[in-house]
Amino acid sequence: MATALITGASNGIGLELAKIHASKGDNLVLVARNKSKLDELKSELEKLFKVTVYTIGKDLSQENSALEVYQETQQQKIQIDYLINNAGFGEFGFFVETDWNKELKMINLNMTTLTQFTKLYIQDMVKRGNGKIMNVASTAAFQSGPTMSVYYATKAYVLSFSEAIDNEVRDKGVTVTTLCPGATESGFQAAAAMEESNLVKGKKLPTSKEVADYGYAAMMKGRTVAIHGFMNWILANSVRFTPRALVVKITRKMQDKAN
């Protein structure tokens, strides 16, 4: 029986991915700050699907938090077959005005912790000759993002990093999939204080479940980059043929607060 480790599993896409894996008979290691929410999910999934769920309450924006989780799974003798780096958050506002401490946590979580998790578990996967990793980026990865400059930059890193290591390990039986959702109906917008932006306000957004279903299927097929939604795919790829200065202006208009 395979085991999936999912970060940011207490809500949104991470929670839906946990449900999908459990429904397929996979055991789970769920990681998030809110351990009580994870323990509620553990009870629900173990009862429904007869799987084993191990929960770890951890602030993944802290230095070496990924190493601490890895060491705990080693001590528990849990082999991780699927690593899903889903935890992440954004911040909405002009860089000159936003909070540095929050941005530092964002950089640590979205980039450093994701990279350290990947480093630790991919080595075991390569030794075994099998395993799958999914790193959750965003359609934000394909262009610069005024009013969310640091967030967009962290997701560009995730995409570039993940594509490169997928190329390195694919012939060793391991695949790395980068899931790139657009704006999604989840707690992300509220956490980033961007409910009033043109990108979100008044829009019917895809659900976390729809994105999770798509991401799971893409990971199982071993796809390198998975952009959810046809229009998101068009927009992400059109960036290649559009002058960068124009792309930045368009993104700014989409991100600005709705009138």
Q: What is the pLDDT of residues 69-94, one digit of tens each?
A: 999 999 999 999 999 999 999 999 99
- Residue 77 backbone phi and psi in degrees, to 5: 55, 45
pLDDT at 256: 65
**Strand 131-136 vs strand 82-85: parallel, antiparallel, or unpaired?**
parallel
Q: pLDDT by residue (tens digit) across 161-171?
A: 999 999 999 99
pLDDT band for 192, please (50, 70, 90 cuts): very low
Q: State the CB neighbour count (10 A cutoff) for residue 251.
A: 22
Residue 57, classed as helix, strand or coil, is strand
Q: Which residue has the higher pLDDT, 193 or 217?
A: 217
Return the sign of the alpha-carbon dihedral for residues 162, 163, 168, 169.
Answer: positive
Average pLDDT over residues 20-29: 98
pLDDT at 230: 75
- Residue 86 backbone phi and psi in degrees, to 5: -105, -25
pLDDT at 9: 97
Three-class HEC string of 83-95: EEECCCCCCCCCC
| Catalytic residue flag (residue 151) | yes
pLDDT at 101: 97
Q: Which two tokens stand for residue 257?
A: 């607060």
Q: Which residue has the higher pLDDT, 63 or 258?
A: 63
- Residue 123 CA: distances (Å) to CA of 68, 120, 132, 137, 169: 16, 6, 12, 22, 10
Average model confidence (pLDDT) across the chain: 89
Average pLDDT over residues 178-193: 70
Strand partners, 30: 6, 55
Whole-model pTM: value is 0.86
For the chain, domains (ranges, CATH) are: 3-255 (3.40.50.720)
Average pLDDT over residues 3-29: 97
Whole-angstrom distance, CA of residue 60 vs CA of residue 51: 25
Average pLDDT over residues 192-211: 66
pLDDT at 25: 98
Average pLDDT over residues 32-40: 97
Amino acid at 37: K
Q: pLDDT by residue (tens digit) across 50-66?
A: 999 999 999 999 999 99
DSSP E strand stretches across 41-167: 53-57, 82-85, 131-136
Q: Which residue has the higher pLDDT, 256 or 46?
A: 46
Catalytic residue selected from 151, 152, 214, 216: 151
Q: State the CB neighbour count (10 A cutoff) for residue 84.
A: 30
